Amino acid sequence: MTIAISVKINDGVVLAADSASTVIGEIPGPQGLAPVSNIYNNANKAFNLRKGWPIGAVTWGAGSLGNASISTLIKDLRDRFSGRDAKRRDWELNRRTYTMEHVAGKLREFILEQYTEARKTVPNISDLGFMVAGYSAGAALADEYLVEITNEECAPPRLLHKNEESGISWAGMGEPLNRLVLGYGTGLPVVMQQNLGVPANQIQPAIRAIQGALQAPLALPAMPLQDAIDLAKFLADVTINFWRFAPGAPVVGGPIEIAAISKHEGFRWVQRKFYYDRALNPEEDHDNREHE
């Protein structure tokens, strides 16, 4: 399970995610299948969609489709975007004309294709989502799009903030951020109706009033990019520690990965884990530095 975060300001957009991957119900026990059989803390959930370009994504939900991890599939998509997939050269992005809406649409098409194929052998696949963010060719401000498969349905990419707007978006195990940023937990509508007797038709107006009064405006348009990076790290850390101390398995955790995307510097890793020793892999490390 995951926390995926996007912080959008005038100077760019910051993507952050934890590294926990939860295996559910695969180990039989005395009471049947274990709800959580294992948690791994080295999953990759943040990606540069074309090396050297100011476009990226974070993911949550299903960690794999069929036998391929989401990380591997996104690298396959990156090959298509880069023109390295000989069978799909038509997917190569044009540096002078591409748009973030097009990028998000092609990611949706690719993931939906993989999802549909995986369901032929694995009928029950968890919901899956992506926040796709970055700069269209020649754009002054970044865009963010939501691509989500929920209940086997995948709507067209949805713009998260208008081009000139700033703000924070999150997905996954976001209960602590709902409380911290919006001012209320996800269980409030049920409490209002069942415990306080608020009529159903008044729940949403009441929620909007509560959010309007209590929402914390943490991401301001003029915030420097470094402060947006610090904010994304803080929000990820709050989420990890909330689930660490909450009853149950710590399903959000591991190293926090952060990437910043700006108009002139492009996609830059701020925090990233490596499964290999960089000192022992000078060629790979040089390649990473060229494109980060």
Nearest by Cα to 16 from 244, 168, 141: 168
Tell me, what's the pLDDT at 31? 45
- The pLDDT-based confidence of 248 (bands split at 50, 70, 90) is confident
Tell me, what's the pLDDT at 25? 58
134 part of a folded domain: yes
Tell me, what's the pLDDT at 123? 81
* 202, pLDDT greater than 60: yes
75 part of a folded domain: yes
Percent of the chain with pLDDT over 70: 92
Tell me, what's the pLDDT at 281? 83
Half-sphere exposure of 188 (CA within 13 A, CB side): 18
- Tens digit of each residue's pLDDT (9 = 90 or more) over 214-231: 999 999 999 999 999 999
Tell me, what's the pLDDT at 37? 67
User: Residue 126's CB: how many other CB atoms inside 10 A?
Assistant: 13
202 part of a folded domain: no
- Tens digit of each residue's pLDDT (9 = 90 or more) over 27-61: 454 444 446 668 899 999 999 999 999 999 999 99
Helix (H) or strand (E) holding 242: helix 225-245
Nearest by Cα to 60 from 188, 149, 181: 149
β 143-150/46-48 pair status? unpaired
Percent of the chain with pLDDT over 90: 82
Q: Are the C-beta atoms of residues 49 and 81 closer than 8 Å to each other? A: yes
**Domain CATH for 17:** 3.60.20.10
What range does the domain containing 77 cover?
3-172+219-291
Domains contained in the chain, number: 1
66 part of a folded domain: yes
Measured CA distances, 102 to 114, 129, 137, 159 (Å): 18, 17, 11, 12
Tell me, what's the pLDDT at 288? 53
CA–CA separation, 186 and 204 (whole Å): 12
135 part of a folded domain: yes
Query: Which amino acid is it at 227?
Result: D
106 part of a folded domain: yes
Question: In terms of C-beta density within 10 A (0-12 exposed, 13-18 middle, 19 or more buried), how is residue 99 classed?
Answer: middle
Average the pLDDT over 272-290 and give the result: 72
Nearest by Cα to 235 from 141, 282, 170: 170
β 32-33/128-134 pair status? unpaired
Tell me, what's the pLDDT at 168? 98
- Beta-bridge mates of residue 271: 258
Tell me, what's the pLDDT at 286? 52
Q: Are the C-beta atoms of residues 71 and 43 closer than 8 Å to each other? A: yes
Structure token pair of residue 288: 């990473």
Q: Are the C-beta atoms of residues 146 and 129 closer than 8 Å to each other? A: yes
276 part of a folded domain: yes
Average the pLDDT over 71-96 and give the result: 96
Query: Which amino acid is it at 68?
Result: A
Nearest by Cα to 36 from 198, 236, 218, 252: 252
Q: 152 or 210: which carries more pLDDT confidence? A: 210
Average the pLDDT over 246-258 and give the result: 93
Tell me, what's the pLDDT at 101? 98
Residues present in the chain in total: 292
Q: 26 or 83: which carries more pLDDT confidence? A: 83
Tell me, what's the pLDDT at 229? 98
Average the pLDDT over 243-272 and give the result: 95
Tell me, what's the pLDDT at 26? 53
pLDDT, the chain, mean: 92
261 part of a folded domain: yes
Nearest by Cα to 14 from 286, 249, 232: 232
